Amino acid sequence: MSKPNLLFLMPDQLRHDFLSCYGASFIDTPHIDSLAAEGLRYDCAYSTSPVCVAARHNLLTGLNSIRTGVLGNGQFLRPDYADCGLQTWPEQIARVGYRSAAIGKMHFYPWDASMGFDDRVICEDKRWLHIQDDYADYLAERGLHKLHGNEHEGYLENRGAIVHQHAFKDSWDYFVGDAAAEYIRTYSDERPFAMMVGFPGPHCPYDPSPEYADRYRPEDMPDSIPEVAGAHPLLRQQNIAGNKRPWNGVDYSEFTEDHKKKIRAHYAALVKQIDDITGRILQALRDSGQLDNTVILFSSDHGDYLGDHGLIGKGQFFEASCHVPLIARMPGGPQGQSNRELVALADVTPTMLALAGADVPDYMDFMPLPELGLPRARRDYLYGMMGGGWMCFDGRWKLCKYSTGEHMLFDLLEDPTEERNLLNDGACGDTYLRLDRALTEEIMRSTMASHHDKLVYDVDLSGDVDFGRSGWQRTYPKPL
């Protein structure tokens, strides 16, 4: 039997609860829903490093963020990673006969780096207006250019919720979806393809195209979740300060429910755009006769608060930020089923490698997804790692510790909206100690493993004759 094509669809900043297959009643996403109806929906999927670049590095390497050293958007994988014994997943998959393609947003530094992909069509972040990528060329051919949100009416007043000046066919996400569909329709290589499609939306600015802008009404959007009383004022101040910077330039000091509802309606319109574009990609697979030989994985790098807890964007370990959709449609695999095991976004990487017939490196921190017929160890906890915070989550109890000194403990069974911080509840003391112990052990393990390049020896050198001779040199960097 021939190897399957692998297609990984990843919108940027997509909440799971804004998809109808995850229970959203205010929006209809039939094309994404079809993946769940014909595949397996993971209900407890989390991005363990919920910002754009860090999440993508978890995927690129299969390592957690402490081990890659990429704990935020301003860091990137060391340039000599190959000398450290590390290969990106497209480099690994090439060794077993695949041709790889990266279509859309990848968030590499530099932005046009290949990182092992054979083919690239680049449409980078909606906030990086000066990048001369393929999308910029596409717009230029039409006498258009990338626009900042503040070039639109009502941007500041509506807290980033605007109607984009460009038509749908000139939007970021349409360009990416059309390029992916064209790649599929014209693909003629004898090798199977492994393609990652990175949609720039529904990331802010909340800028649906004119054709979609009135699809959803603010009053039909779900209410925001209140702040956790007294638990995170410093996190909120960080959130406000970060969004005042030029990339966004919006002041969320005053953030009313009307603001939040309008943002949510615009966000829903962006999600609807991506669903329609997903339908175009699926149609390209059908038309080219490749749907029945293509594994499709769908997820997101993180969510978006959309006003929950008084916050916007992402970056902490509240559900709105780190709980993501994850769907696997595999020909001959489970259909119309759901799974409630704890899974991580970066489990996608060893899953793709295993399905391609590549060996999954034993140094990886993630594992293949369950119920796909792939070997998988038991997971008791998910560990979140960011430059400013850590998380330990067992599926019910979630411990979050932030560099601001604000620590929170939630019982998601009794408090799924995370409104009651139980950190100082004496009845939860044993739970706190259990989670804190597990988190401490994992942080220490990951910190030690992150310095593998400096390792001089694995065993005692006292009996090593070569070490005793003058001129001995250690191996650096020490490979994984």
The confidence score (pLDDT) of residue 404 equals 97
Taking the CA of residue 359 as centre, how many other CA atoms within 13 Å lie in the half-sphere pointing to its CB?
A: 5
Within a domain: residue 479? Answer: no
Residue 9 confidence class, pLDDT cut points 50, 70, 90: very high
For residue 205, give both structure tokens.
């600015």
Is this model's pTM higher than 0.95 or not?
Answer: yes
| Contacts for 373 with CB less than 8 Å, ≥ 6 apart | 333
The β-bridge relationship of strands 389-393 and 397-402 is antiparallel
Residues 327 and 443 in one domain: no
Residues 273 and 393 in one domain: no
Residues 354 and 404 in one domain: no
Residues 181 and 260 in one domain: yes
Q: Into how many domains does the chain fold?
A: 2
CATH number, residue 415: 3.30.1120
CATH number, residue 74: 3.40.720.10
Average pLDDT over residues 276-286: 98
Residues 169 and 264 in one domain: yes
Within a domain: residue 472? Answer: no
Question: Does residue 1 carry a pLDDT above 80?
Answer: no
| Contacts for 96 with CB less than 8 Å, ≥ 6 apart | 3, 356, 357, 358
Within a domain: residue 396? Answer: yes
pLDDT tens digits, one per residue of 419-460? 999 999 999 999 999 999 999 999 999 999 999 999 999 888
Residues 284 and 363 in one domain: yes
Within a domain: residue 285? Answer: yes
Within a domain: residue 419? Answer: yes
The confidence score (pLDDT) of residue 129 equals 96
Residues 320 and 444 in one domain: no
Average pLDDT over residues 279-285: 98
pLDDT tens digits, one per residue of 192-237? 999 999 999 999 999 999 999 999 999 999 999 999 988 999 999 9
The secondary structure of 85-110, three-state, reads CCCCHHHHHHCCCCEEEEEECCCCCC
Within a domain: residue 440? Answer: yes
| Contacts for 419 with CB less than 8 Å, ≥ 6 apart | 225, 226, 228, 229
Question: Does residue 391 carry a pLDDT above 90?
Answer: yes
What is the chain's percent helix, strand, coil content, to nearest 5?
A: 35, 15, 50
The confidence score (pLDDT) of residue 243 equals 97
Within a domain: residue 471? Answer: no
Residues 283 and 400 in one domain: no
Residues 57 and 81 in one domain: yes
Domain housing 330: 5-380
Within a domain: residue 475? Answer: no
The confidence score (pLDDT) of residue 459 equals 83
Compute the mean pLDDT over every residue in the chain, rounded to the nearest whole number: 97
Residues 22 and 54 in one domain: yes
Residues 351 and 376 in one domain: yes
